[in-house]
């Protein structure tokens, strides 16, 4: 007897054309190995492929939830939004680009900052929202990054920044580039006070962000295969006309050449961050008996 039988009754979720309707987003295909996985399963695994370990793009809200202790996160300055100081216009006005980005990302700009705990260690933390104009750094992003360091300094707690950015936001011109110096100065004040700063480099971390505070951490870690550098490989190749080394500007290449301290899987990030902060002298908040 066969272990299967043909179902005679018609499927209930057929479309008018008679085709079976599959809910959109039910499945996800891995960009690394091509394996098909239930999207819900992938999300529960922090969007890390359970087969090959490929790290998929992770929405900012999910990353905050995966990093911070439950119930500890307090967002600061959530209402800050960019203006249009230069009246910039390319294919469409900058103001309209901002409005479209806010609607798409459901947040005011490309950076989220606040305070919370990581495995009991109180921190000031910032997260780039790559879904907002590629995580580009304008005046608001630079101000909020600066405030992460200032809150850490005021409360005498460590700072952590999760970086994912295409670089400075061209629509704000020199005002955007000024944020490189502004954020680096704030980071220097934190260093002078002897307070730790851990920089986490995500895919991608490039441009003015990589050329400033992202590479000024006491400890610099990266997710596997993250693209990290100032100009991307395609731009460099087109500029100098040479073939680049295999894996150039990926996290593994940077680790081999001493540019970063460690590559950490997203599945272990919270635990390892807490351990690093303890080694840097930060105390965990112990649960009362």
267 and 215 part of one domain: yes
259 within domain boundaries: yes
| Structural domain containing residue 182 | 57-279
Rounded CA-CA distance 95/102 in Å is 11
158 pLDDT higher than 70: yes
Contact 226, 248 (CB under 8 A): no
> What percent of the chain stands above pLDDT 90?
83
pLDDT for residue 21: 57
pLDDT for residue 233: 80
How would residue 3 be classed by pLDDT, with cut points 50, 70 and 90?
Answer: very low
44 and 81 part of one domain: no
Cα angle: 168, vertex 172, 178; to 5 degrees:
60
Backbone angles phi, psi at 116, to 5 degrees: 180, -160
89 and 64 part of one domain: yes
Residues in the chain: 289
| Residue 121, SS3 per DSSP | strand
Q: Tell me the three-class secondary structure of 12-74, residue by residue.
A: CCECCCCCECCCCCCEEECCCCCCEEEHHHHHHCCCECCCCCCECCCCHHHHHHHHCCCCCCE
36 and 137 part of one domain: no
Residues 209-227 have a mean pLDDT of 98
178 and 113 part of one domain: yes
Q: Is the pTM of this model over 0.75?
A: yes
Please tell me the total count of domains within the chain.
2
6 pLDDT higher than 60: no
Give the model confidence (pLDDT) of 31-84 as tens digits: 999 999 999 999 999 999 999 999 999 999 999 999 999 999 999 999 999 999
285 within domain boundaries: no
Average model confidence (pLDDT) across the chain: 92
């Amino acid at each position: 007897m066969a272990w299967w039988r043909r179902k005679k009754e018609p499927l209930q979720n057929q479309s008018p054309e008679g085709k079976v309707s599959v809910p959109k987003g039910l499945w996800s295909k891995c960009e690394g190995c091509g394996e098909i996985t239930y999207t819900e399963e992938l999300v529960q695994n922090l969007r890390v492929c359970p087969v090959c370990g490929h790290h998929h793009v992770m929405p900012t809200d999910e990353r905050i939830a995966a990093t911070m202790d439950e119930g500890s996160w307090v967002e600061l300055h959530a209402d800050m939004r960019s203006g249009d100081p230069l009246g910039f216009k390319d294919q469409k006005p900058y103001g309209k680009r901002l409005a479209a980005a806010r609607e798409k990302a459901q947040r005011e700009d490309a950076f989220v900052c606040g305070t919370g705990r990581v495995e009991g260690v109180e921190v000031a933390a910032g997260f780039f929202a790559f879904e907002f104009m590629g995580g580009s750094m304008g005046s608001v992003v630079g101000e909020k990054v600066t405030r992460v360091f200032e809150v850490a300094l005021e409360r005498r707690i460590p700072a952590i920044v999760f970086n994912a950015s295409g670089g400075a936001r061209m629509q704000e011109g020199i005002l955007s580039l000024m944020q490189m110096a502004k954020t680096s100065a704030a980071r220097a004040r934190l260093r002078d006070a002897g307070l730790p700063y851990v920089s986490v480099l995500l895919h991608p971390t490039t441009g003015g962000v990589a050329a400033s505070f992202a590479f000024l951490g006491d400890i610099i870690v990266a997710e596997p295969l993250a693209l990290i550098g100032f100009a991307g490989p395609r731009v460099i190749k087109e500029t100098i006309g040479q073939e680049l080394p295999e894996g150039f500007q990926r996290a593994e290449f940077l680790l081999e050449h001493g540019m970063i301290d460690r590559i950490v899987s997203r599945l272990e990030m919270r635990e390892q961050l807490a351990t690093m902060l303890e080694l840097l002298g930060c105390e965990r908040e112990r649960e009362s008996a």
